[in-house]
Structure 1
Amino acid sequence: MSAARAKRSAAAPLVALAVALVMAACGCQGGERTAPPRPPSPEESATSARVLAVKIDNVGPARPQTGLDHADIVYLEQVEAGLSRILAVYSSRLPAVVGPVRSARETDLELLRQFDRPTLAYSGAQGKLTPLIDAARLDALPPSKAPDAYFRSSDRAAPHNLYLRAARTPNATAGANAAADIGLRFGPAPAGGKAVTEHTVRYPSARFVFTWSADRQRWLVAMDGAPARTAEGERLGAATVVVQSVTVRPSLFRDRSGNTSPYTETVGSGTALVLREGRAYETVWSRATAQSDTAFTTPDGKPMTFAAGQVWIVYESR
């Protein structure tokens, strides 16, 4: 567990003041949009990080998503029928609007144990999963608990039109980088690596391509054969992409159509490919317990460093 977490109680009044000042300055009310956040620098501390995690739809009718470019970490998970869903984690900055918001999965509960009691915004869950969400060490925030924070958009059909006004959540977030909060290191690239311009990850019913852009210093994202974009039409891009090899097994839960929900095991160890600055680095990941952070190390045992900016972590079945 990161040492920064022990400092949070003492820092809470400062965090509250910082949040108030940020919200007053940006005018984050209603559906207004905020400016995109600056990329977190290698020197940023995780002290007082307060995390908002949002479960985001990722099928064709849900794209382009709103607010995804503001996230510190974007997790890609496999769900029923081989499709994908996104868990976006915010702490450095809050967008005015995030979405479309969809239902939670069992995988999210273990994954989010890395953070210090995060808020999880989601639109619902399979009935038998609800008691596990209620018992989890997080602040569950479905629309029933914060109706003023959610709204339905008229520009697309349900269920792909539910959005979250992040500033209206009880746990407004600002200041520190959520990626640093769970122990990810930002800094100069390690020695070695292999020059790579493109990498593809395939799920049974989804495909993601990350293409290095030297001009933008980002890995541009494509989903299912089309460029991934923000709601404003800009290309989505990550400073660092982690393709984490994990066990994906059937869970005890099913969706409304009877499809078994996959469960992604994020506790354990395995290999990971880290893409940064046009190079690929073979690394090892390890997470001893659900309460532990996930460590990424180079073959010589040193911590893997990430490029400053947004991190995408893609869970790939091994």
Structure 2
Amino acid sequence: MYPLTGIPVADPVIAARPALVVKIDNASGARPQTGFNAADIVFEEIVNARITRFAMVFHSRDSDPVGPIRSGRIQDIDMFGSYNRPLFAWSGGNKTVTAAVDASDLVNLSQLRVGVYFRTTDKPVPHNLYSRTSALWKKAPAGSQPPVQQFSYRRDGDAVAGSPSAGVDVKLDSINVNWKWNASKGLYFRQMGGKNHFDAAGGQVTTNNVVVLAMNYLPGISDSPDAQTIGTGEAYVFTGGNYVHATWTRTDRLLPFVLTADDGSVVGLTPGRTFVELPRVNLTQPLPAP
């Protein structure tokens, strides 16, 4: 199976390529973005009190184009250490962040390193930097390996754990996010600021699973929030129309998050795409059954 979705492999060549992490802008001038519904996993992280930023992780599918692409943060180095030397596509950063990325096991594919980025004319700078996943993958170093599996997935016939839930409300500082379960589609649909969140193709942003990991954030470089992704904390998992209260645990940056339900079992996700929200603690509200 593809390690980031749990779906059976259809193309062994694609399955053998490395993970590609693309940092995506979420300022108002950057919307609508391109790539959400093609990414295997998407992370939403707090970067300051006013905005969040996304990290789209691609492996089994492409997005041509993808963007708008923005800068990375120190927290990305720990967050994506478990993806087996992933390609890291970003606009660049200050000297300290750039040096840290270069010293890490992330493969630095910033716009300053590879000439596969372009700017569009429909949005203002800096919200108009794009690339193509197909072009970025061509920059993978020789010997690059695929990512390891990040989550557990239910097998065919396995019951969905937890209890029915209509979705979840998540507050990421000033950004209010809502995910609503659509039983007929078998998907969660995203809203932001009380409005449907659409991508550049005109479709609403969706996912098969929503995983909310309550994070402690410490002041980082220039007081930028730095999510502490190694340790343990409260988790809220939404899959198949159900909600599972859990604990996340991660003992090393090279290891994936482990999601353990209150009964001690490992939470199994629905095979497919996963959206990971990283709010501060105590800012998540599961919704009751519809």
TM-score by length of 1: 0.79
Classify 1:145/1:313 alpha carbon distance in 2 versus 1 (closer, same or farther; 3 Å).
same
1:156 maps onto 2:123 in alignment: yes
Q: In structure 2, how many angstroms separate the alpha carbons of the residues matched to 1:275 and 1:304?
A: 10
Q: In structure 2, how many angstroms separate the alpha carbons of the residues matched to 1:103 and 1:185?
A: 30
For structure 2, list consecutive stretches of 5 or more residues without a partner in the other structure.
282-290
**2:285 corresponds to:** none
Q: In structure 2, how many angstroms separate the alpha carbons of the residues matched to 1:200 and 1:96?
A: 31
Q: In structure 1, how many angstroms separate the alpha carbons of the residues matched to 2:96 and 2:161?
A: 47
**2:206 corresponds to:** 237
For structure 1, list consecutive stretches of 5 or more residues without a partner in the other structure.
6-38, 255-259
Per-residue deviation, 1:177: 8.7
Q: In structure 2, how many angstroms separate the alpha carbons of the residues matched to 1:72 and 1:115?
A: 12
Displaced runs of 4 or more, over 6 A: none
- Residues 55, 102 of structure 1: 8 Å contact kept: yes
Of 193, 204, 207 in structure 1, the residue corresponding to residue 173 of structure 2 is 204
- Residues 7, 272 of structure 2: 8 Å contact kept: no
Classify 1:42/1:167 alpha carbon distance in 2 versus 1 (closer, same or farther; 3 Å).
closer
Of 107, 127, 136 in structure 1, the residue corresponding to residue 75 of structure 2 is 107
Q: How many residues align?
A: 270
**1:25 corresponds to:** none
Per-residue deviation, 1:69: 1.1
**1:68 corresponds to:** 36
- Residues 16, 146 of structure 2: 8 Å contact kept: no
Q: In structure 1, how many angstroms separate the alpha carbons of the residues matched to 2:263 and 2:233?
A: 15
Q: Identity over aligned residues, as a percent?
A: 29
Q: In structure 1, how many angstroms separate the alpha carbons of the residues matched to 2:54 and 2:161?
A: 31
Query: How large is the RMSD of aligned CA atoms in angstroms?
Result: 2.3
**1:16 corresponds to:** none
Residue by residue, what CA displacement relative to the aligned partner does 1:263-284 show, whole Å, maximum 9, x if unpaired?
0011111121100121110111
Q: Which amino acid in the other structure matches residue 62 of structure 2?
A: L
1:277 maps onto 2:240 in alignment: yes
Residue by residue, what CA displacement relative to the aligned partner does 1:227-272 show, whole Å, maximum 9, x if unpaired?
1112110111110000111211111x12xxxxx2000011111121
- Residues 220, 235 of structure 1: 8 Å contact kept: yes
**2:286 corresponds to:** none
**2:140 corresponds to:** 171
Per-residue deviation, 1:183: 3.3
Greater fraction helix: 1
Of 270, 279, 289 in structure 1, the residue corresponding to residue 252 of structure 2 is 289
1:56 maps onto 2:24 in alignment: yes
Residue by residue, what CA displacement relative to the aligned partner does 1:141-167 show, whole Å, maximum 9, x if unpaired?
1112112x1000011111110001221
